[in-house]
Amino acid sequence: MDFGLTEEERAIRDTVRDFVKREVMPLEADCLRNERAGRVGVDRATLKALQHKAKQVGFWGINTPEEYGGMGLGPVMTALISLELARTFVPFYLGGYADNILYHCTPEQAESYLLPVIAGDKISCFAITEPGAGSDAKAITTSARKEGDAWIIRGEKTFITRGNDADFTMVFAVTDRELGADGGVTAFLVDRDMGWKSEPIDTMGEWGPAALVFDDVAVPEQNILGEIGQGFTLAMEWINAGRFILPARAVGACERLLQFALDYANTRSTFGHPLAQRQAIQWMIADSAVEIEAMKWLTLHAAWQMQQGQDNRHTSSMAKLYAGVKANEVVDRVLQIHGGMGYTRELPIERWYRELRLLRIYEGTDEIQRQSIARNLLKGNVKLASTPN
């Protein structure tokens, strides 16, 4: 086994790390100030300008196929880049990206949806979660009924990322209740100007999700994404493709936070000695370092499996579960090491504290991940002490 990066991978990682440090981290103070004043941390125009700066140094569409103008770097490099971007809480991501299921667009749909998203001219959102259907995605009740040449969508979605900013949504609705989720759910491409409304949801973090309301929104037949009844398959394709990105972001955030703790422990003295000499502090630092390393390799293994064309759902579930739990423990220790200062809003630790808590909830709660992992083992779908194929 070779756990080292290639020269190309190392060069790409280092370039992204340098870009984040040079161009993105300087925005942190203003981002915090704006958020705490109830404003958007960094406005859309600034983020778009940053994306074009990154494009000038070669970073555009890191996992977008080359035929669409992207880099096509693959899951492992995507995970490594996500880790680097997560070293800052500024909500920046590289441009030239489109949701993976948009590649199921017809050529006509691609002109209106896929290509504008890749170009950064349109924003999309993925809408499956409902007030009564969170982790249990098969329980969705939003419906779509056929009337003439259109489908009439009625229902509500909740906790939708980018829902307040999106120009269109990929919404999942029941088209045949008798068939249930497997065959009875269809995905639709629905422009905002077709009539759906969004309302912001106030959360303890800066995630900024939205509730989407569809009150008999008429959608043309040609706006079906994929095939009728294929919706749940597309939804799982979307969820599974990006699940390893969440723990990758946890790793990046925790490495930055632990560096805060190391710097503070070496400079802060109590009772005549640096905190770094206190065994209690040393143990918190050691435990955090071990856990960060473990979550990193679980995450990269899940990405590597996907890159090899293997089924990585089990490994991704383990990575997300472990990273979500341990990231919350790491940030809690870092806050504890900083004492009262860590609890203030003068430092950004509390900001990360609130943000990392979300990792244990969205895109599959801890409980759902545990259920999935246990079921796979109990049913023999995966085996203990298995080696890569």
Same domain, 249 and 363: yes
Same domain, 281 and 372: yes
Domain boundary among 204, 237, 270: 237
Domain contains 386 = no
pLDDT at 270: 87
**Segments in the chain forming alpha helices (H):** 7-19, 28-36, 44-56, 75-85, 107-109, 115-119, 181-184, 231-242, 245-267, 279-307, 313-338, 340-343, 349-357, 366-378
Same domain, 247 and 368: yes
Ramachandran category for residue 223: left, alpha or beta (phi over 0 → left; psi -120 to 50 → alpha):
alpha
Is this prediction's pTM over 0.85? Answer: yes
Per-residue pLDDT of 206-215, as tens digits, reads 888 999 999 9
Domain boundary among 237, 253, 280: 237
Domain contains 119 = no
Domain contains 116 = no
User: Could you please report the per-residue DSSP string of 219-288?
Assistant: EEGGGEESSTT-HHHHHHHHHHHHTTHHHHHHHHHHHHHHHHHHHHHHH-EETTEEGGG-HHHHHHHHHH
Question: Rounded distance, CA 349 to CA 199, Å?
Answer: 29
State yes or no: is 363 an active-site residue.
yes
Question: Rounded distance, CA 224 to CA 206, Å?
Answer: 32
Long-range contacts at 197-201 (CB < 8 A, ≥ 24 apart): 198/160, 198/163, 198/164, 198/166, 200/164, 201/158, 201/159
Report the DSSP pairing between strands 150-160 and 197-200.
unpaired
Domain contains 188 = yes
Count Cβ neighbours within 10 Å for each residue of 336-351 and write b for 16 or more, e otherwise.
ebbeeebeeeebbbbb
Instruction: Return the CATH number at 308.
Output: 1.20.140.10
228 Cβ contact list (under 8 Å, min separation 6): 175, 186
> How much is the mean pLDDT over the chain?
93
**Closest to 181 measured CA to CA, from 147, 137, 143, 237:** 137
Domain contains 169 = yes
Per-residue pLDDT of 332-363, as tens digits, reads 999 999 999 999 998 999 999 999 999 999 88
Domain contains 328 = yes
End-to-end CA distance of the chain: 13
**Closest to 124 measured CA to CA, from 114, 132, 138, 133:** 114
Same domain, 93 and 141: no
**Closest to 323 measured CA to CA, from 285, 297, 352:** 297
Domain contains 106 = no
Residue listed under structure tokens 């472990």: 322
Question: Rounded distance, CA 279 to CA 228, Å?
Answer: 61
Same domain, 257 and 193: no
25 Cβ contact list (under 8 Å, min separation 6): 87, 88, 90
Same domain, 148 and 275: no
Same domain, 288 and 230: no
Instruction: Return the CATH number at 229.
Output: 2.40.110.10
Amino acid at 109: Q
Same domain, 144 and 210: yes
Instruction: Return the CATH number at 92.
Output: 1.10.540.10
Same domain, 269 and 373: yes
Domain contains 384 = no
Name residues of the chain where pLDDT drops below 70: 134-135, 137, 385-389
Distance of CA 11 to the CA centre of its chain: 24
User: How far is residue 192 from each of residues 111, 122, 167, 214, 225, measured CA to CA in Å?
Assistant: 17, 11, 6, 10, 16
**Closest to 131 measured CA to CA, from 211, 185, 192, 195:** 211
Same domain, 251 and 152: no
Domain boundary among 207, 237, 267: 237
Same domain, 54 and 134: no
State which residues form the domain around 151. Answer: 124-237
Report the DSSP pairing between strands 150-160 and 124-127.
unpaired
Domain count, the chain: 3
Same domain, 198 and 293: no
pLDDT at 160: 96
Active site residue: 7, 130, 363, 367, which one?
363
Per-residue pLDDT of 101-125, as tens digits, reads 999 999 999 999 999 999 999 999 9
